[in-house]
Amino acid sequence: MSKKLFSLLAVLVVASMALAACAPSGGGAPTVVPNTPHPTLPPEPPAEPTALICQVTDVGGIDDRSFNATAYKGVTDAVAALGVEGQFLESQEQADYETNINAFIEQGCNLIVTVGFLLGDATYAAASANPDQSFAIVDYGNNFDGTDHANLMGLLFATDQAAFLAGYVAAASTQTGTVGTFGGIQIPPVTAFMDGFVYGVDYYNEQHGTDVNVLGWDPATQTGLFTGNFESTDDGATFGNNLMDEGADIIMPVAGPVGLGTASAIQARGNAWLIGVDVDWTVSAPEYADVTLTSVLKNMDVAVYGQIEAVVNGAFAGGNYVGTLENNGVGLAGSFPDLQAELDAIIAGIIAGDIQTAPSAE
């Protein structure tokens, strides 16, 4: 037998053995080849949103990295956790408030969240005219006009409590003995921060026998520095530079995106610190983390999320929510090991009502 013929027969024998191994035997189940892909199944249709949640911003816009953005985080958190759909409309000017609210009413939103004290009148009017529409408003309480709105939840925050802690930290940290603050527009949600800040500095002076001075705000007369807007970073830089020229080495701007201009000015000069507001500025504006001493936290996202959850669960009702140090609705960012024992005692005193954080209401 030739070598070529022998080789051919060998190949045929091996092939026949392989075919026999793969063939079904005795009527049993066919051999399953591992990793054989299953037929492609059509994708499941997306679940219907549990609710449509709509936010109307103030003029600072959705990307202000402060006020409006923090409130909308409550919406996006609910989108992820509760399966709702979230939308927003930005107000370019105050005349847009009513227009944007009405647009969302026509769209059939399950909850309309309006953000800011300046939207109070437009929100009240819409809530009165549309009793079956649920609303929540940040920084404006239900019954401010003497009428209880069963379809409106006011989301309020005792920011004076948290700002008091920031003032105390500022007084303990200043090297010049002078700190400063200014606001955007003189409205209660802005001046509450400034009240608490000054009271915190004063309390530090009382406890330590110091004389730290605060520029930009006098709680007794309710007079101080305001840019008149919540948009101009140029104004923020100007006010920040002016306060530093007067000796302030720690500044708390209460003006939304305006404060980013102050942060830039501080960073350029390199001899002062910023105190952020609404959200932790080391997170929202990390480019200024190196000049951010702390931030006064106003946990609007948590409050907004809570109202969305109530809507989804069919438990929404009108009234007022107040965020405090006690319920973690407000707080202070960062850690201060050398001051922590004092801060803990202050927090306990504020919660107990033994420490005053703002002028008494007349």
Per-residue pLDDT band at 41 (split at 50, 70, 90): low
Which of 243 and 362 is assigned the larger pLDDT? 243
Q: Specify the pLDDT at position 6.
A: 39
What domains does the chain contain, in order, with CATH numbers? 52-157 (3.40.50.2300), 159-278+331-352 (3.40.50.2300)
Q: Specify the pLDDT at position 60.
A: 87
pLDDT, tens digit, 9 for 90 and up, residues 305-321? 999 999 999 999 999 99
Per-residue pLDDT band at 3 (split at 50, 70, 90): very low
Q: Specify the pLDDT at position 65.
A: 86
Per-residue pLDDT band at 46 (split at 50, 70, 90): low
Is 1's pLDDT higher than 60? no
Q: Specify the pLDDT at position 319.
A: 95
pLDDT, tens digit, 9 for 90 and up, residues 284-298? 999 999 999 999 999
Is 80's pLDDT higher than 50? yes
Is 2's pLDDT higher than 60? no
| pLDDT, mean of residues 60-80 | 94
Q: Specify the pLDDT at position 40.
A: 57
Q: Specify the pLDDT at position 22.
A: 41
Q: Specify the pLDDT at position 143.
A: 80
HEC assignment per residue over the chain = CCHHHHHHHHHHHHHHHHHHHHCCCCCCCCCCCCCCCCCCCCCCCCCCCCCEEEEECCCCCCCCCCHHHHHHHHHHHHHHHHCCEEEEECCCCCCHHHHHHHHHHHHCCCEEEEECHHHHHHHHHHHHHCCCCEEEEECCCCCCCCCCCCCEEEEEECHHHHHHHHHHHHHHHCCCCEEEEEECCCCHHHHHHHHHHHHHHHHHHHHHCCCCEEECEECCCCEECECCCCCCHHHHHHHHHHHHHCCCCEEEEECCCHHHHHHHHHHHHCCCEEEEEECCHHHHCHHHHHHEEEEEEECHHHHHHHHHHHHHCCCCCCEEEEECCCCCCEEECCCCCCCHHHHHHHHHHHHHCCCCCCCCCC
Is 336's pLDDT higher than 50? yes
pLDDT, tens digit, 9 for 90 and up, residues 238-295? 999 999 999 999 999 999 999 999 999 999 999 999 999 999 999 999 999 999 999 9
Share of the chain above pLDDT 90, in %: 81
Per-residue pLDDT band at 15 (split at 50, 70, 90): very low
Mean pLDDT of the chain: 89
